[in-house]
Amino acid sequence: MSAPRATTQSRWDSRLGLAVTLLVVAFLIVPVIFSLLAGITQNYFVGLKSGLTLRWIAEVWSLYADTLWRTLIVALATLAIVTLVGVPLAWILTLLRGRLARAIEELITLPVAVPGLATALALVVSWGTVGGLRASTAFIVIGHVLFTLPFMVRAAGATMQGRDLPALDQAAATLGARPIVRFLTLIAPNAAPGIVSGALTVLTLSIGEFNLTWLLHTPLTKTLPVGLADSYASMRLEIASAYTLIFLVLLMPLLIGLQWLGARGTRTHTFSRASRATSL
């Protein structure tokens, strides 16, 4: 194939890729835009010509503000616990690499394979009568940790295996570095991309989880998805859309901040490695 024909083919491929990307973005983003507009419209069925208003946002805030804050608290607590447990567990499984590791992975993945209602029912039956746990937000956090833990373990473990960290860990061990020092200064920084990816997944799954939360919650421990279902049950689409708008305003800075921290950590680690290589 000649150079001009190859260039023409490359342009067509680029245009086709751009067209497909725009179609996917339109399919995903346009419904969200319409939903957000409904939250600031006087009457959704009449359309924008009915006028814009903040009435629905104020009404949602007065009715469901506690569910929004509780959702963020549950998500952040879930993220903290899953990170503290999942990252070391991913490293242990990376070192094991055998039947035992596969068995542990399958055991951890069970809450994802089993329907959320079944997992929630098992928690209610086994731990629902322990003290005041059933009526507390901590009970929802426990359910979310069980559900999201596999995603952190898989994401962090994939990065650890892909970068051949066991070999680097062994080299550091021969130099006398203690296990905790090796993990904090060598393993965790190198696995940062996977950890950040897992953190984003855990955060979004925890905030949007409905099936498991619906059975675990009480009237005093409602979270955002449960409150959103209640708002839809009110048969007022504007309220549900305003609920979604407030949720996005609270969530997006959190997600952007996590991505920024992950990118900054990766750049810092890359720079430090380059500096060490230059000094050798």
Rounded Cα distance between 47 and 41, Å, is 7
Is pLDDT at 84 greater than 90 in this prediction? yes
- Region 45-59: mean pLDDT is 79
- Region 129-157: mean pLDDT is 89
Residue 142 near residue 130, CB atoms below 8 Å: no
Contacts of 189 (CB under 8 A, 6+ apart): 265, 269
- Of 223, 222, 215, which is closest to residue 250 (Cα–Cα)? 223
For residue 145, name the pLDDT band (cuts at 50, 70, 90): very high
Amino acid in position 191: A
Is pLDDT at 277 greater than 50 in this prediction? no
pLDDT tens figures, 217-267? 888 888 888 887 877 776 567 777 888 788 777 777 777 776 676 666 555
**Helical axes 224-233 vs 55-96, angle rounded to 10°:** 140
Is the pLDDT higher at 29 or at 213? 213
Determine the pLDDT at residue 235. Answer: 58
Determine the pLDDT at residue 264. Answer: 64
Is pLDDT at 192 greater than 80 in this prediction? yes
- Of 19, 88, 33, 55, which is closest to residue 245 (Cα–Cα)? 33
**Helical axes 237-279 vs 3-38, angle rounded to 10°:** 140
Q: What is the CA radius of gyration of the chain?
A: 24
Residue 191 near residue 156, CB atoms below 8 Å: yes
- Region 88-112: mean pLDDT is 84
For residue 60, name the pLDDT band (cuts at 50, 70, 90): confident
- Of 142, 275, 139, which is closest to residue 218 (Cα–Cα)? 139
Buried b (16+ CB within 10 A) or exposed e, 158-170: bbbbeeebeeebe
Mean of all residue pLDDT scores within the chain: 80
For residue 274, name the pLDDT band (cuts at 50, 70, 90): very low
Is pLDDT at 95 greater than 50 in this prediction? yes
Is pLDDT at 276 greater than 60 in this prediction? no
- Region 2-22: mean pLDDT is 67
User: Residues of the chain with pLDDT > 90: what percent?
Assistant: 13
User: Residues of the chain with pLDDT > 70: what percent?
Assistant: 86
- Of 254, 204, 253, 201, which is closest to residue 224 (Cα–Cα)? 204
For residue 33, name the pLDDT band (cuts at 50, 70, 90): confident
Determine the pLDDT at residue 275. Answer: 45
- Region 79-107: mean pLDDT is 88
All domains of the chain in start order, with CATH = 64-272 (1.10.3720.10)
